[in-house]
Amino acid sequence: MSQTLLSVEGVVKEFGRKRAVDSVSFAVRRGEILGFLGPNGAGKTTTIRMIMGITAPDQGRITYHVDGRQENRVPKERVGYLPEERGLYKEARVMDVLLFLAGLKGMDKKTARARSMEWLERFGLKEYAFAKVQQLSKGMAQKVQFIASVIHDPDLVVLDEPFSGLDPVNQDLFKAEIRRLAASGSAVLLSSHQMNLVEELCHSIFLIHHGKRVLYGSLYDIKAEYGAHRVRMLITRNGWTPPPSPLVEADERDGAWYTCLLRPGVAPVDYLRSLPDDAPIEELSLSRISLHDIFVRTAQGGVPG
């Protein structure tokens, strides 16, 4: 098992009479991408701010593990942070911004300049190295801010809504870079409302709601525990629909496509065996209930499944 880099243990944060974060605990390991999820106002941003040292917990502790020792704070030079609220100096030139922010992380100017050019070329921005930030599109500026958050090869990378406003091409680019960071040994804490992208990227999931932990574990285990199977079929005979079955919790028909959600604990093979031998099925696919559905049902106070 990979080494734990960051552990959050029993953390509490109160604002007046409101407990924004209530006894939250989780860990992030090197090489792991942990999806840190929750509805708006659930306590995600407050927790991230405590990890970053922007605010202190009222109870509990946040521990950074490095070289066999433990520190009660995350060293700022070893963390990369992409906040949800973006902000770059619009009048400054891209290279100057990257050199300045890299310098804050302890990088010398020569190394920072070389790495900046490498990253800008990788992101297709080499020709904009000396352009002003205000000349960049929103997506370009987001790439620059991403570069600034990882240019110093951080051990821990905290990404808050990194895909917001990106087109599909740039989403794929960011996904590839996030995977590369994890493969190189960084621990990645990823907060996003785009469940499909979280599901593609993350090894583990932590879901917070009303300041409390709701779900925590590997994506596979969570989907296995809370997610029933979904069966999707393309029907070739007009008007034919699979007969009602006690194995099915819900179903819907959309043109030639029929989709049903099996009851928790029902094996797909048992349902398929229950269908008539001459069922006019052209295509068939099986999947677990999506992370999106688990998120929505949990946030609404229901039990996913």
Three-class SS of 80-108: EEECCCCCCCCCCEHHHHHHHHHHHCCCC
Residue 249 has which token pair? 């919790």
* Predicted local confidence at residue 304, as pLDDT: 44
H or E segment and range at residue 274: helix 268-274
Task: Give the model confidence (pLDDT) of 37-61 as tens digits.
Answer: 998 889 999 999 999 999 999 999 9
> In 3-state terms, what secondary structure has residue 181?
helix
Q: Minimal CA–CA distance to 37: which of 263, 216, 276, 269?
A: 216
> In 3-state terms, what secondary structure has residue 261?
strand
CA 106, distance to chain mean position in Å, is 28
Q: Which of 223, 240, 265 is the last residue of a domain?
A: 223
| Domain shared by 151 and 19, yes or no | yes
Stretches where the chain sits below pLDDT 70 are 1, 227, 301-305
Residue type, 214: V
Say which residue the tokens 């049902």 belong to.
297
> In 3-state terms, what secondary structure has residue 32?
coil
Say which residue the tokens 């209930």 belong to.
289
Task: Give the model confidence (pLDDT) of 82-101 as tens digits.
Answer: 988 777 888 999 999 999 99
* Predicted local confidence at residue 227, as pLDDT: 65
| Domain shared by 194 and 271, yes or no | no
Distance CA 202, CA 212 (A): 21
Residue type, 293: D
Considering the domain boundaries, does residue 154 fall inside one? Answer: yes
Considering the domain boundaries, does residue 184 fall inside one? Answer: yes
CA pseudo-torsion sign 105, 109, 110, 112? positive
> In 3-state terms, what secondary structure has residue 48?
helix
| Domain shared by 202 and 233, yes or no | no
| Domain shared by 235 and 204, yes or no | no
Instruction: Give residue 261's domain range.
Output: 228-288
Considering the domain boundaries, does residue 295 fall inside one? Answer: no
Say which residue the tokens 């992030």 belong to.
28
> In 3-state terms, what secondary structure has residue 2?
coil
Distance CA 225, CA 255 (A): 31
| Domain shared by 137 and 276, yes or no | no
Distance CA 247, CA 120 (A): 54
Considering the domain boundaries, does residue 155 fall inside one? Answer: yes
Cα torsion 282, 287, 290, 294 to 10°: value is 130
| Domain shared by 174 and 235, yes or no | no
| Domain shared by 154 and 36, yes or no | yes
| Domain shared by 255 and 132, yes or no | no
How many domains in the chain? 2
| Domain shared by 47 and 166, yes or no | yes
Considering the domain boundaries, does residue 245 fall inside one? Answer: yes
Say which residue the tokens 């190295």 belong to.
129
| Domain shared by 241 and 207, yes or no | no
| Domain shared by 266 and 181, yes or no | no
| Domain shared by 114 and 243, yes or no | no
Residue 100 has which token pair? 């300045």
Considering the domain boundaries, does residue 102 fall inside one? Answer: yes
